[in-house]
Structure 1
Amino acid sequence: MRPMSDLSIRAADERDIDQVLAFWREAAEGTSVSDDREGVARLIARDPEALLLAEREGHLVGTVIAGWDGWRCSLYRLAVLPSQRRRGISRALLAAAEERFTALGGRRGDAMVLDENERAHRAWQAAGYTPQPQWSRWVKTLTP
């Protein structure tokens, strides 16, 4: 656990999955095909330090997925409880993610952010990230 005043940041474990999914329904913009118990369980099993949780007084107030594949540092699901926004939680989560990446040898963080989420754009910019308009993200939903 990493204390920050009254905020603590820790990696999620399997006991947190249901709470994280409920949190994302309330705090995150949009949903993903992998926003289910099995998807989050696979993430935690593959990379137990990737899903970071911010807690205040024992309550989940923020998340970020800080994925590392050995080559790229990828950031997903930065979300803060609406009643807790503008209190430094996203910055604290991103600082923890960046510390993780640096320790692993990562050199650049890539964030997936919805184009229409202007509030998120401001948060990412405040944390030092810049949009890359020359790149477009192409995605395909894979089905088993």
Structure 2
Amino acid sequence: MNDLDIRCAAPSDIAAVLRFWREAAEGTSITDDHEGVARLISRDPEALLLAEQDGRITGTVIAGYDGWRCSAYRLAVHPDRRRQGIATALMDAAERRFLALGGRRIDAMVLESNERAHRTWGSAGYHREGHWRRWVKSVRP
């Protein structure tokens, strides 16, 4: 895909990323706001990867690494651009990042109800671990 550019998000991209997620991503999070994305970019400037074509965001993935685990979040591709290799290109970029940082295993957050995402992750070599469940608690100041 010669016209696809993958780069790290900058603070100037935050509004466009939030608009993109409303259109292309499934599910919402307490951190889906300007402050949450700004904090991510400030803490780890290389974590939020953007795929662009013709200057427009066509895909995203958050490739977070805390020094122990590699975590992939918010893999999303614009509905008009799906099945064109964008998700694969984003995950390849995320995996290169993780390897460069010394990561050894990637955990992906995938909604149980998102069958399309299950197929995408499965075709990329990931498998569901049925013996784990995610436990969450939202905290606010």
Identify whether the pair has TM-score above 0.5, normalized to the shorter chain: yes
Structure 1 residue runs of 4+, over 6 Å off? none
1:16 aligned partner: 13
Once the two structures are TM-superposed, the CA of residue 30 in structure 1 deviates from its matched residue by 1.0
Match of 1:93 among 80, 90, 94: 90
Match of 2:46 among 49, 65, 89: 49
DSSP-derived class of the 2:104 partner: coil
Once the two structures are TM-superposed, the CA of residue 119 in structure 1 deviates from its matched residue by 0.4
1:23 maps to a residue whose letter is F
DSSP-derived class of the 2:62 partner: strand
TM-score by length of 2: 0.98
Once the two structures are TM-superposed, the CA of residue 5 in structure 1 deviates from its matched residue by 1.4
Structure 1: gaps spanning 5 or more residues: none
1:83 maps to a residue whose letter is D
Match of 1:121 among 91, 102, 118: 118
Q: How many residues were matched structurally?
A: 141
Does residue 139 of structure 2 align to residue 142 of structure 1? yes
Structure 2: gaps spanning 5 or more residues: none
TM-score by length of 1: 0.96
Percent identity over the alignment is: 68
